[in-house]
Chain A
Amino acid sequence: MIPPVTQTPMLRTEALAKGFTLHLRDGLHIPVLAGVELTAYAGECVVLSGPSGAGKSTLMRALYGNYRADSGRILVRHRHAEIDIATADPRAILAVRHETLGYVSQFLRVVPRIPTLDVVAEVLTARGRSQEEARAAATAMLLRLNIPARLHGLPPATFSGGEQQRVNLARGFIAEHPILLLDEPTASLDAANRDVVVTMVREAKTRGAAIVAICHDAEVRDSIADRLFPLPPLQEAA
């Protein structure tokens, strides 16, 4: 077992910059990130801090390869080597996401009609686990996040915001990725469910996962963060 907070950088950025050019608004360019140097080690949780609009979610999405970096590097430890997400080809990014890099967004996006249990279980079947094993693990994970068994057979489309977020969390945590990106994991959860998520984050750290999170809830942030990574808005930094 990997000891908590080792000196293995699992994820680091070098001079990362990202902006948006809005062609529908006459090519208006909005710089969001510049010179970002973030490192996350195995077994620690780094929480991004900064006011709304500072680019926290943009950074998260860039780390996941969902947004494309303009310049700089995003180095992810994958299969004992570092791979640069900023320049990797699509299939390499998919392989990194599959094995190494998990992401829990604030929104659940799934194919309509699939029962909640399978939405979670498919994460494991896609990793070669048997249908029975995957369903058993998914059931346990959903129950742990207080999604009652009577809902497991229903597609999550009709669930409340909090329930959908917990389905998303179940999907995010069940694969046990070595790196986890959490964007507001407790935003629409009640106190009891926030506590479950805090425990799950601690367990992930104990197994050696590196976690980068955005978390506005001060209590949750204080319970999970090993350190904060300040992200000042570019206008002020300039």
Chain B
Amino acid sequence: MSGQTLISGRGLSLSFGRVTALRNVDVDVWPGEMLAIVGESGSGKTTLLNVLAGRVSPDRGIVQYRDPEDTLHDVHAMPAPTLRTLHRSDWGFVHQDPRQNLRMAVSAGGNVGERLMARGARHYGNIRAQALDWLAQVEIDASRIDDLPRTFSGGMLQRLQIARTLVTHPRLVFMDEPTGGLDVSVQARLLDLIRSLVARLNIAAVLVTHDIAVARLLAQRIAVMQRGEIVETGLTDQVLDDPRHPYTQLLVSSVLTT
């Protein structure tokens, strides 16, 4: 298949004391696609996300990111400032708890504008206009632009985090359970939003979720993790409709259907 990967991990291993979090994991993400990483709690999926994003260093293995100039970077060999710049420009990170990403003492508009300013934008009018545009895209009313995030509901906070993350048009977004802990109706709205924004902006994403229905709706490809290993990977519908590994079969058969 043509095209080169945007980010690749090879032979990633990591132990926390006697606990193996990752065992020889290989993973690839191509531009514009969403890869879901599923598995139960403790399977290593969030650890893998953090290792790919350069937030946690592996004991062994390498993560390579291809920048827009087609240069490969070893994510864990990068100087810290370079990695920070990457996180502010090319990359985005959506946490399950939006409070980890948002600045709660700064207005909603300020939270969105801050990412632009960190990238060098200085014109106040432009920044505010873009913040307004992004609030609209994530369906937050313009009248709330000067309100503090603490006055927002859980679903609104999550949408604000997404606006803050996507305002710089990242090429790659890491998402850790972005719909976790939300009401089902709020979750549906957020799924719809993530799906349409990711498609329209041609963003690649790595999505960690324990909810395989979310993976099915959002991701083209899926990797199933168990005890720090990827036990099965492939097209999302293929893996979920025709699971081969015993653990994937267990995972799929455990889902409640309505």
Contacts and interface: CB of A to CB of B under 8 A. Distances in A.
A20 B253 CA distance: 14
Nearest to B234: A90
Contacts of B244: 21, 68
Given A91-B30, A91-B33, A111-B191, A61 B241 contact: yes
Contact of A112 (B192, B234, B245, B250): B192
B221 interface: yes
A94 B250 contact: no
A93 B239 CA distance: 13
B73 interface: no
B192 A67 contact: no
B238 interface: yes
B1 interface: yes
B238 A94 contact: no
Contacts of B192: 111-114
Interface string A21-48: 1111000000000000000000000000
A6 B3 CA distance: 34
A146 interface: no
Given A66-B238, A112-B192, A113-B188, A90 B246 contact: no
Contacts of A66: 237-238, 241-242
A92 B221 CA distance: 12
A65 interface: yes
Interface string A64-97: 0111100000000000000000000111111000
B238 A68 contact: yes
Max chain A Cβ within 10 angstroms of own Cβ: one of B1, B220, B221: B1
A24 B235 contact: no
Interface string B121-143: 00000000000000000000000
A94 B30 CA distance: 13
Contact of A91 (B1, B195, B242): B1
B237 A23 contact: no
Given A67-B241, A91-B1, A94-B235, A24 B246 contact: yes
Given A22-B249, A111-B192, A89 B238 contact: no
Nearest to A22: B249
Nearest to A110: B217
B235 A111 contact: no
Interface in A80-134: 89-94, 109, 111-114, 126
A20 B244 CA distance: 8
15 contacts: A23-B245, A65-B235, A65-B238, A68-B244, A90-B220, A90-B238, A91-B1, A92-B1, A93-B235, A93-B238, A112-B188, A112-B192, A113-B188, A114-B192, A126-B199
Interface of B: 1, 3, 30, 33, 188-189, 191-192, 195, 199, 216-217, 220-221, 234-235, 237-238, 241-242, 244-246, 249-250, 253
Interface of A: 20-24, 61, 65-68, 89-94, 109, 111-114, 126
Given A23-B245, A67-B238, A113-B192, 19 more contacts: A21-B244, A22-B249, A24-B250, A61-B242, A66-B237, A66-B238, A66-B242, A67-B241, A67-B242, A68-B242, A68-B244, A89-B1, A90-B220, A90-B238, A91-B33, A91-B221, A111-B188, A111-B192, A126-B199
- By Cβ-Cβ distance, the 4 closest A-B pairs, closest first, are A23-B246, A112-B188, A90-B235, A67-B242
